[in-house]
Amino acid sequence: MFHHCLFQSSMKRVCDNGMKQYIRSRPGASIESVRRAKEIEIATIGDHALFQDTNDLKDAKAKLLTGISSYRPPGDASAAGFDLTGDTEEIMKSAIVKKIWDKKKKKMVSVGVESKKNMIKSESGKWIPASFKSGRYQKWMERTKAAAEDDDNEEDDGNEEATPAK
């Protein structure tokens, strides 16, 4: 314990001496910096968050909580309605998704057109949402195919001129 106090006091002395040396040897502020410092109105800056009184924060928090607890939304709950038209037995039955046991996946899967409606099969064989399909590959294939055909036509034209006529 004594060693710790001795260490702290020696470190404080080293820091104080270092600060004194810095103050003696630091370069002076530029004229531009002095001018900007004089233009700053210190009264309008306010206190730093570390130096603010914690009571101000507590008061602000209490004010916020009272505002939230006293809030009343506009409108009456008694004016709300609930419409049951269109809820027939047929519609409700069609909305139920039928599930069966898939032996391959070893889990329950939904059956019907709805299950695969917005899905596509990827190159790896997995079903992914159709939104992932962008068609970039097909567009690239069309472009390269057209470019390759143009190259083939140019080569054919060049060969006809180069071959001697019989």
- What confidence tens digit (pLDDT) does each residue in 59-98 have? 888 888 888 888 887 776 666 777 666 667 777 766 677 7
Query: Residue 15 pLDDT more than 60?
Result: yes
pLDDT score of 6 = 84
pLDDT score of 48 = 73
Query: Residue 116 pLDDT more than 80?
Result: no
Token code pair at residue 12? 């404080």
Token code pair at residue 122? 């990827």
Token code pair at residue 34? 């002095």
pLDDT digits (tens, 9 = 90+) for 45-69: 777 777 767 667 778 888 888 888 8
Alpha carbon distances (Å) from 95 to 37, 135, 137, 146 = 72, 32, 36, 47
One-letter amino acid for residue 56 of the chain: D
Domain boundaries, the chain: 96-136
pLDDT score of 112 = 64
Query: Residue 110 pLDDT more than 70?
Result: yes
pLDDT score of 119 = 81
pLDDT digits (tens, 9 = 90+) for 127-157: 888 877 777 888 888 988 877 787 777 766 5
pLDDT score of 45 = 75
DSSP character at residue 108: E
